[in-house]
Amino acid sequence: MSSQAPKLGHAYASLPERFYSPAKAANFPDAKLIEVNDHLAEELGIDPDWLRSIAGLGLISGLDPPSNAKPVAQVYAGHQFGGFVPRLGDGRAILMGEMRGYDIHLKGTGPTEFSRNGDGKSALGPVIREYLVSEAMHALGVPTTRALAAVTTGESVIRQFGPEPGGIFTRVARSHTRVGTLQYFAAQQDTEALEILTRHCIDHMYPDAEGALGLLEKVIARQAELVAHWMSLGFIHGVMNTDNCAISGDTIDYGPCAFMDTFHPRCVFSSIDRQGRYSWENQAKIAHWNLTRLAETLLPLIDKDVEKAKEKAQSALTQFAPEFRSEYLRRFRAKLGLKDGSESFINTTLSHMADTGKDFTIFFSKLTKLAQGDASGDYFKNDWLTSWRAEGKADAHLMRANNPVLIPRNHQVQNAIQQAYEGDFSLFRRLLEAWKNPFTEQPEFSDLEKPPTESERVRETFCGT
């Protein structure tokens, strides 16, 4: 591996100019490195030592990108909480280029053509949060964008509660193309751009998909799996707008997301989600809604005959529910250790958990220990235990692989942010380390298994923009 600057590719920035706007990072002369993800850097063919050097800082702070970078802000539209916004775009992010086909994308680098009234910057809190949670999601096995690096900018940004230290996050993704990107061109009736983008998505992510309909079917399947996976871990994305719904099927945009502590199906954290549109239990319905918007954008490419196109798209969309359901049942059966557990028993279990205010992660973790013969059943109500046993013999091995011991709990993320604001990144690093092995009992991190106390509990999360 060379210790040279990475050789960035530009598949996206080679698309026609109306797909992006050239961008330039603001000047952050006091930017300082917080963290580099060495392992990910190596996977991408970037020398971690280079990334940690002054030259590397030039890339991840945006101050002095390598000469082969081609910074652009991507254009997209999106339905935000159900309302269509025809032009959003990267208002606080730029794409530097690609390494081994993965986007190297900086978040918080200052205004772009799409910033509207925003400052284009990011507070340090959301940087720490996205770094921790996206890496934890990866370790939990959930398809996701990744964290390559984080820096402090050395300047303050003004947010809801006053000035906060600024940060820049380097995100790695297979692609940043969103449902909203296609919506942007569909709204402009720019069929040529739609065709180009569809082709780009197929070539880049779904080489065996046949045409626009094939692409739609793939995205439907990926999103169905993704949401079932989220739900099986108690994850709530929090802002499933179509601009935050990636064509790749990876989790993207860790804004007000959260893992539930106490289980409740209508659980919501985001301060702006007043109606509970993006609650835990609504996520599949919303994913289907988003995919319907995707199908609409692709109609002109699916068939020249509008009625036929609608029929084909409709038929693809009907696949979502069974695909989601089968994944959801498979995952919850595995959590309960029951290969053939009934759907009604899964529902009973979830109602029981909600009624008794159980911690989602601890419930399944304790059940795993019980199945392993390492714990008593005291934690569980007798009636429920009897029904569980009646469902069949539990497979402890299956349970261990599906029930994490550790999840990125909100209050822990919040504590890491608090400390980072005081210049101390030790908890951030400790959490990063602990969450690399979420399915393994790690005695040195057993304190992190605990749910929050009443006073520690985080009830509301913020986009932080």
Instruction: List contacts with ligand AMP (CB under 6 A).
Output: 88-92, 114-115, 118-121, 239, 243-244, 253, 255, 463, 465
Cβ of residue 91: shortest distance to Mg ion, in angstroms?
A: 9
Q: Which does 88 bind (CB under 5 to 8 A by kind): ligand AMP, Mg ion, none?
A: ligand AMP
Judge whether 46 and 60 are in contact, CB under 8 Å.
no
CB of 122 to Mg ion, least distance (A): 12
Pick 289 or 439: Cβ nearer Mg ion: 289
Whose Cβ is closer to Mg ion: residue 36's or residue 95's? Answer: 95
Closer residue to ligand AMP (CB): 235 or 345: 235
What residue type is assigned to position 203 of the chain?
D
Q: Which residues pair with 9 in a beta bridge?
A: 98
The amino acid at 16: P
CB of 138 to ligand AMP, least distance (A): 20
Half-sphere exposure at residue 14, Cβ-oriented, CA atoms within 13 angstroms: 7
CB 80 to ligand AMP: min, Å: 7
Nearest to 433 by CA among 421, 424, 420, 442: 442
- 34 alpha carbon, distance to own chain's centre: 21
Residue 79 contact partner, candidates Mg ion, ligand AMP, none, CB within 5 to 8 A by sort of partner = none
Per DSSP, the three-state class of 391 is: coil
Nearer Cβ to Mg ion, position 103 or 449?
103
Q: Are strands 72-74 and 235-236 parallel, antiparallel or unpaired?
A: unpaired
Closest CB 253 distance from Mg ion, rounded Å? 4
> Helices 426-434 & 410-421, crossing angle to 10 degrees?
150
**Contact criterion met (CB below 8 Å) for 251 and 231:** no
Q: Which is nearer to ligand AMP, 135 or 253 (CB)?
A: 253
Cβ neighbour number for residue 317 with a 10 Å cutoff? 17
Q: What are the angstrom distances between the C-alpha of 336 and each of 228, 346, 384, 393? A: 15, 8, 12, 10
Question: Which partner from the list Mg ion, ligand AMP, none does 92 bind, CB cut-off 5 to 8 Å by kind?
Answer: ligand AMP
How far apart are alpha carbons 131 and 149 in whole angstroms? 8
- CA 359 to chain CA centroid, Å, is 22
Which one, 105 or 121, has the nearer CB to ligand AMP? Answer: 121
119 binds, among Mg ion, ligand AMP, none (CB under 5 to 8 A by kind): ligand AMP
Q: How far is the CB of 241 from ligand AMP (least distance, A)?
A: 6
Q: Which two tokens stand for residue 160?
A: 């809801």
Largest Cα–Cα distance of the chain, in whole Å? 67
- Residue 89 interacts with which of Mg ion, ligand AMP, none, CB < 5 to 8 Å by class: ligand AMP
* 447 catalytic residue (yes or no): no
Of the CA atoms within 13 Å of residue 171, those in its CB half-sphere come to 30
Residue 463 partner contact from ligand AMP, Mg ion, none using kind-dependent CB cut-offs of 5 to 8 Å: ligand AMP
We find the least distance from the C-beta atom of residue 73 to ligand AMP, in angstroms, to be 8
DSSP class per residue in 200-219: HHHHHH-TT--HHHHHHHHH
Considering the complex, state which of residue 113 and residue 441 has its C-beta at the smaller distance from ligand AMP: 113
Phi, psi values for residue 233, rounded to 5°? -110, 0
Helix (H, G, I), strand (E, B) or coil at 370: helix
Residue closer to ligand AMP by CB (options 401, 463) is 463
**104 token code pair:** 């190297």
Per the listing, tokens 């949401």 go with: 227
465, interface contact from ligand AMP, Mg ion, none, CB < 5-8 Å by kind? ligand AMP
Enumerate binding residues for Mg ion (CB under 5 A).
Answer: 244, 253
Among 90, 103, 243, 250, the active-site one is 243
Q: How far apart are CA 454 and CA 371, in angstroms?
A: 30
Which of the choices Mg ion, ligand AMP, none does residue 366 contact, using the CB cut-off of 5 to 8 A by kind? Answer: none
Name the minimum Å distance from CB 65 to ligand AMP. 20
Active site residues: 243
